Structure 1
């Protein structure tokens, strides 16, 4: 479970509520201040308007994915590039020793569909160019599909403040049309201001963070599948497993690359001891 996502949302909401209810002079929370921020017409304009135009802009299937997307954010599938590399190197070693056909026995142990289907093509002796084409096409489709999913929330984030502004205009019209009625003036001003607040909150606490987190999840998955693509093609070409490992580690972003010490702690320790001996000799001289 992604605790950071849950804590981030709770923290954002809590601090907004704190700002609404905290009385700086009395130095305490005044909960009845929240009544000033509850306005049913403003909610109808902002939330209802945003949902309405989203229904106009996207098919029903996009709304059905909302639950799935929230699950991906809160309880994501963990994509581990290092584990993918380790698995590919193991398969490369098997293929190097026993031939590509030996991988057929390993297919049942592979749960990840992309790697399973790609290795199946290799075992079936499909030409390497065709294997690359199939894999790259699947990656392109994945990229496009995830971009459309993110676009759903990014579009909602642009609609919400727009309807907040519409609500502001409605409130101003009501206010200016009833300048003689003090109650109508106050109500119009409340609608004018609160709709903008609702639109900003909906965009910046819900829609944009969801789109951003989906992008992060996509990057994790896409990286692992890129490693699988290069690894499977290298296995098909019969490359050395050690070379494949080095090649795949170079594809990792700098923040995820292992240092020499992580890769070979014994070797690194030996280097440190040699440096220490040289330093001691210089001091003795």
Structure 2
């Protein structure tokens, strides 16, 4: 599912184009099935030649899975990891056994499960790092697929233009053929440009941006999991994980926790509601955890 800013951006862009067309002429004049087939068919065919079907399928699966990353608040993750760390510190890793199945993030869930299952620190550290690297490679391929599609679109638009020009020049004496050939020539260029600059290019950029957020979050989880494995003080773990949060959010988080007075009661309230709150914004979580 596309995130809100992507949907708004696509709707806004296409709406402006449609409004510009409608205010100056007839929208149906810009509809051409043959032009669309040349551009879309060319993009699909070239992409299938360049990449395997598995790569293409995985690319769109990756895009879909990453589109919700922007809404994740790392400060909420910090609250949950700190709560888990304090429980592990007092009762050991096995205390998390009943909680792990409720964790929504697969990377964190699997990492904590490996820790509870008794994996050695060196093995777990390697597994967690390898999974991050594997995800990074997968995303890089997905970005390349979208960038390739963005490059192919105007190229096939130009191919359609050449086809239209050839058809037009073959029938210079026939006004009807001249018009249809010129229409194909111009509309394929238009379609190719729109697909490149309004769809595939921006999606490639968005995927690159979201993947960095996702990998940063995984790195933060990795640090937290390894800190629990090493039985470090939860405050030390927090300091290590805070590095992955942007400075403004980090300052707000630190200030809020410095002002807290009844921490044990807050921890109990958080533990009773963390399953429902784990993907909420931190500001929402703060309100839920207020005394009273």
Q: TM-score range by the shorter chain?
A: 0.7 to 0.9
5+ residue gaps, structure 1, are 24-29, 268-285
Cα distance change, pair 113–11 in 1 and its aligned pair in 2 (3 A): closer
User: After the TM superposition, which of the residue ranges 69-78 and 172-181 deviates more from structure 2?
Assistant: 69-78
CA 1:111 to 1:59, structure 2 compared with 1: closer, same or farther past 3 Å? same
TM-score w.r.t. the length of structure 1 is: 0.78
Aligned to 2:75: 82
Report the equivalent of 1:21. 22
Does structure 1 residue 93 correspond to structure 2 residue 86?
A: yes
Q: Tell me the SS of whatever aligns to 1:22.
A: helix
- Separation in 1 of the partners of 2:64 and 2:75? 24
Deviation at 1:34, TM superposition (A): 1.9
Matched, 1:197 2:190: yes
Aligned to 1:143: 136
| Contact 2:158/2:189 (8 A) holds in 1 | yes
Identify the residue that residue 108 of structure 2 maps to in structure 1. Answer: 115
Determine the structure 2 residue equivalent to 1:270. Answer: none
In the alignment, is the contact (CA less than 8 A) between 1:80 and 1:224 conserved in 2?
A: no
Distance in 2 of aligned mates of 1:55 and 1:142: 22
**How big is each residue's C-alpha offset from its partner over 1:143-167, in whole Å with a ceiling of 9 and x where there is no partner?**
1122222332222111111100111
1:135-184 CA deviation, whole Å, 9 max, x = no partner?
00011111112222233222211111110011112222233344444443
CA contact (8 A) 2:36 2:191 kept: yes
Partner of 2:32: 39
State the Cα distance separating 1:265 from its structure 2 match: 4.5
Q: 1:82 to 1:125 in 2, by over 3 A?
A: same
> What does residue 273 of structure 1 align with?
none
What 5-or-longer segments of structure 2 have no aligned partner? 262-292
Aligned counterpart for 2:258 among listed residues 239, 254, 264 = 264
1:87 Cα shift? 1.8
Q: Distance in 2 between matches of 1:89 and 1:261?
A: 16
2:13 aligns to what? Answer: 12
Of the structure 1 ranges 64-73 and 223-232, higher mean CA displacement relative to structure 2 is found in 64-73
Cα distance in 1 between the residues matched to 2:92 and 2:41:
61
| Equivalent residue number for residue 127 of structure 2 | 134
TM-score by length of 2: 0.76
What's the Cα RMSD here?
2.9
Aligned pair count reads 259
- 1:14-45 deviation digits (Å, cap 9, x = unpaired): 1101111213xxxxxx4xx2232122322221
Query: Cα deviation per residue 1:39-79 (whole Å; 9 max; x = unaligned)?
Result: 23222211222222223233334555587567547766953
Once structures 1 and 2 are overlaid, which stretch shifts more, 206-215 or 141-150?
A: 206-215
Q: Which residue of 2 aligns with 1:244?
A: 237
Query: Which residue of structure 2 lines up, in the alignment, with residue 276 of structure 1?
Result: none
Which stretch shifts more, 35-44 or 14-23?
Answer: 35-44
Change (3 A) 1:140 1:12: same
- Give 1:104's aligned residue: 97
Secondary structure (helix, strand or coil) at the match of 1:258 reads helix
User: How far off its partner does 1:228 sit?
Assistant: 0.9
User: Could you list the runs of 4 or more consecutive aligned residues of structure 1 that deviate by over 6 angstroms after TM superposition?
Assistant: 73-77
Say which one has the larger Rg.
Answer: 1
